[in-house]
Amino acid sequence: MTANQCVSRCIGLRHHLTSRKILEKLCHRMLHSLSILLRRKLFHSSFSLIHPFSTLTSTNHHFQVNDFSHVDFHAIAQSLLPPPNPSSLPHKHHHPNSPLKTHLFNLSTVVPETTRAFWRLPHLEPQHVLQLLLAFQSNCINVEVEKVRSLWEIFKWGIEKNVGFNHLLKSYEIMASLLVQVGLLKEAEGLLFALESDGVFEKLIKGYVGVRELERGVSVYDVMKGRGMVPSRSCYSVLIDLLVKMKRTRCALRVATDMVDLGGILSGDEVSVLEKVIVLLCVDGRIQEARNMVKKVLPLCSEVSSFVFDEIAFAYCDRKDFKDLISFYREVKCVPTLKATNRVVNSLCRDYGVERAGLFLQKLEGLGFSPDEVTYGILIGWSCHEGKMKKALSCLTVLLSKGFAPHIYTYNALISGLFKVGMLDHAREILDEMIDRGILPDISTFRVLIAGYCKSRQFDKVKVLIHEMESRGLIKLSSMENPISKAFLILGLNPSSVRLKRDNDRKLSKAEFFDDIGNGLYLDTDVDEYENHVSSVLEESVVPNFNSSVKEECSNGNLKNALILVEEMLCWGQELMLPVFSMLVRQLCSSRSQMKSLINLLEKMPHSAHKLNQETLNLVVQAYSKKGLLHKAKIMLDEMLQSKFHVKNETYTAILMPLCKKGNMQDFAYYWDVARRNNWIPSLEDFKHLLTHICHWKMLKEALQFLEIMLLSNPFLKLDICHVFLEVLSTSCLTSTAFVVLKQLQHCFILDHAAYNNIIRGLCRERKFSLAFTVLDDMLDKYPAPCLDVSVLLIPQLCKAHRYEKAIALKDIILKEQPSFSHAAHCALICGCCDMGNIGKVGILFRKMLSKGFSLDDKLSNMLIKGHCQANDLRKVGELLGVAIRKDWELTLSSYRYLIQFMCMKGRVLFALSLKNLMLAQYPLDGHIIYNILIFYLLLAGNSLVVHKILSEMEERKVVLDEVGHNFLVCGFLHCKDLSSSLHYLTTMISKGLKPSNRSLRKVISSLCNAGDLQKALELSQEMRLRGWIHDSTIQTSIVESLLSCGKILEAETFLDRMGEESLTPDSVNYDYLIKCFCRYGRLNKAVHLMNTMLKKNNIPTSTSYDFLIHGFCAQNIMDMSLNFYSEMLNWNLKPGIDIVEMLVHRVCQDGETELAEQFLVDMIYGGETPSKKMYCTVIKSYHMENNLRKASGLMQAMQESGYQPDFETHWSLISNLNSAKGKDTDNGSKGFLSTLLSKSGFLQKR
């Protein structure tokens, strides 16, 4: 290849592609790119920014709304992407595999020591890919997705672009592992056919479980099992757990069976997962499979939770298969719990009678079960229900013989049973027995007695009971209230419709019964209805109706009582009906203080929890989310989605809000996509709150998607939505973004006065004044002046930007439109002129204010003091300060700072000290700030002696020097060349537990090293190390340079090694100077290590660093390393020095690699540089030595075109060998080679 061809090739390669990291979240570089974006999008648009929304007009100064359905919000989001940074583009010189090189370039900041060796290779071999993967795996702690994508592209390149390219097996394993680690699961799944490592399969399964892709996870599991691989138990556990949550019973059972078949002792967590499977089987009615699983699990663990056995017992109860239940208990040799037994006994009594229940209980007792008072209470209650009082009293005898105390429900049942069989006289004996045993009757017991006596018409005894209830404090009875009417009220009867009357007829024709003194009485009511009601009261007391009690308590809002009843209900073997359960769950969701109770209830009653309807489940998810129980909320929501239940808008909002607020971006992204797919429409208030959180994390893509959702789904709220969007983005320092978005929606609406104010206010807050001025221009074309606070913000900035006329115009508009704000407008203008340093205009404006009747006030005085301090006008400053002191105006701390700076600069130290005293009197709580300002400017002026006096004064006044003050002292004394004092205050600061600023540490250590006090610098560094403080580049450079200058090379290397091992190196580290130093000392390996450290922290070394390394390796005759660094620096768009290229050309020509030497010349030409004459001559001579005259002559021609004339010796050496040249130069027709050469050299003149 001739030089001309090389140059042509270089030019062809000039325009190259580049790779840059695709931003998943648009926010991270928005602020950096907005100014460029606005210039490109706004100023060069066909719509002038002066009239940015001119397509529509408005008569009411409000948004004009059109259809948003055709707006491409995705395109708007893409337009907000920053343009690629040219400085980060890889240099694309003569590389045959540019896409591959792009990905290598992306990895060069992760594993530079590995990629460095690959730049010069024509293609990568399988062992190279493995080397790259191994290096990446060992160096990456926090793996970036885009870096792994680059690895994946290189991996695919080997297979797709090279026939016969076979990756090594280890490469597949590492690649798949890395893909899973960053969540690129589908890509990893594509490698499964080549994998033999079960570890990668496990990671892939866990990865799919993590993103809830259950089908893929199970598919990978099946592939793994099909290949004879055995997952770990942790892998089994995570997969089974998700299968249970998603209610995939059949699959969960299959995987759980595989796990159990592995054998070996199960851990507690593994048993817990398997227990969930058993419970799920019970819920689905697959009792036999649940039973078999328990039998398999029991030999592998110490115990299975009693909750599991209870669930199996409940499932058998539902099927009424009590015979199999007994056999199950016998098989597993397990004693049933009281809860399960009571449930079984109650079911048997209800369905088959108390006799069969008693026989079943005997069988359970044979297994070791011991009944309690509740068990006997259930039998007693159902015996009374069946009228078998002998059986009931027999059970009571057994209960008492075992030392149990009957429950009040048991006493109520006995009393009711006795009334039912007509044993009225014994009913009162039960009450007396109850009281004798210390069990106080409650209103339910008296209610049973009242019902029994009312049924038997013994109203005298009813009166006695009412008075007894009153004496016990159970009821209140007024002197005017009839006890019988009160009794009817307790029974739930209406006293006005049920009356007890005396029959005054002599024949007693109406009398139904008689009282103790013989009066004939009768009931004035519907007797049949009365009898039915009283009988129902007695019947309810036999077997307590917990469902009705719980429902009643819920209706009354007594959740605490309702929960107590539920606990009692479960103990008594009863089941909460689904409607009552749902009612209780809904009320618990609405109570902020009952969240723990809600969780316990759902966990205790999984059968009922699985049957809740979608309305109730929505409330549960919302309640969990609002309480921050996101894990439980996600599980419940996933179950709803799996069951295809309708999820309410409020539910999606409830879970998205805390996920975004807490920064859980992975889960937020998942549910955000789910919500969008399911047509989620939040309210306007929720839109504002959630958008605030989204903007906090600078997620512009999601913010625009949110805007799209709201605009398309709320046609009547478009105006308010746009206002909220603008308001939130403005307060989130994203005003520019909001403005760009609204600009691109200009065909749909125009901005009103309030919106303009919000935009300008936000831009000023973000200090983007140039854009704020442009928006102001547009606003003034449509509306009056901005509101006062915005105008006051703009006027000083307009002055500062030398747009004084605009500031005056804005002030005049304010005076015209809002005359009451003229004082504020003038003050803002004066403030702007002070910032400009234009004291002349300040004076003119001030005199105008005075002429209009305004007087000098404290605010204006502070402005003028500041301005005259900046103008260096001592006389005016004194006058203004005198006025302020006489009028007792407060000086602001800002004015005080300007005054102290001015006085110290003028040498008026006494004046500064007096001013300090004045400020201390005005701001007694800000003493440390006042002293800090004084100390800073005194030291800046070199008055260190005065500072020592100030510090003594502070001690006397007990003003504590804070962290800022200490740092001022450290840096200030160094400024005064007082290193000892600076070091003293630095060490004092550290001893007090304060952290010096990086600037203080940097300056002190540098000064110690410069002063030759290396030992103290090392001691200070040791103090920093012990506290884990970062050593910035200057600190490290100062210490290492001092160590090297003392000949302590090993100590210098050890110091740097320690910095890396202890992570004390900053991200912005710069080792360029140290790289040169170590190269000079011949320590190339350390220099290379430092360069790699810089690259791994995304800091690109300078070309000089590369030059030193290349020179060093050439000197040591390690040409491969030299050439690697040469190629790397070209890829960083760095240009090597001419002397370095000359050296490389000389060395490769010596080694007989003349074509490579010629390529160096091509690289220089490509980079816009001209190779030196020495380079040309060296390569020409080398080709001549190789007898390659065609190449030599081509280079000779290129050399001459570059303006160099070859020397005679070079010409003659070529001419002397012309006899051996056989070819003719095609570019010169019939003209001979010699003639062409001589004419180009100037020896032959044209004719």
Domain ranges of the chain: 21-83+681-783, 90-299+306-314, 315-406, 787-888, 912-996, 998-1062
Task: Provide the CB-side half-sphere exposure for 158 (13 A, CA).
Answer: 20
Cβ atoms 773, 798 nearer than 8 A:
yes
Token pair 């809600």 in the structure block, residue: 598
Largest CA-CA distance found in the chain, in angstroms, rounded: 169
CA atoms of 139 and 147, how far apart (whole Å): 12
Q: How does DSSP classify residue 182? A: T
Cβ atoms 689, 657 nearer than 8 A:
yes
Cβ atoms 211, 183 nearer than 8 A:
yes
Q: Tokens standing for 68? A: 């948003």
CA atoms of 290 and 307, how far apart (whole Å): 13
For residue 75, the model assigns a pLDDT of 65
Domains 21-83+681-783 and 90-299+306-314 share a fold: yes
For residue 1211, the model assigns a pLDDT of 65
For residue 532, the model assigns a pLDDT of 92
Spell out the SS3 assignment of 400-420. HHCCCCCCHHHHHHHHHHHHH
In angstroms, what CA-CA distances link 652 with 508, 626, 640, 659, 914? 74, 12, 12, 11, 64
- How far is C-alpha 790 from the chain's CA centre? 34
For 237-261, the pLDDT digits (tens) are 999 998 998 888 999 999 999 999 9
For residue 1228, the model assigns a pLDDT of 45
CATH of domain 21-83+681-783: 1.25.40
Helix, strand and coil in the chain, % to nearest 5: 70, 0, 30
For residue 229, the model assigns a pLDDT of 85
CA nearest neighbour of 322 among 281, 276, 363, 378: 363
Name, in order, each residue with C-beta under 8 angstroms of 694's C-beta and a sequence gap of 6 or more. Answer: 660, 702, 703, 706
For residue 94, the model assigns a pLDDT of 43
CA atoms of 58 and 66, how far apart (whole Å): 13
In three-state secondary structure terms, 501 is strand
Length of the chain: 1247
For the chain, which residues score pLDDT lower than 50? Answer: 1-65, 84-89, 92-96, 1222-1247
90-299+306-314 folds as 1.25.40
CA atoms of 133 and 125, how far apart (whole Å): 13
Pairing mode, strands 520-524 and 513-514: antiparallel
CA atoms of 597 and 620, how far apart (whole Å): 12
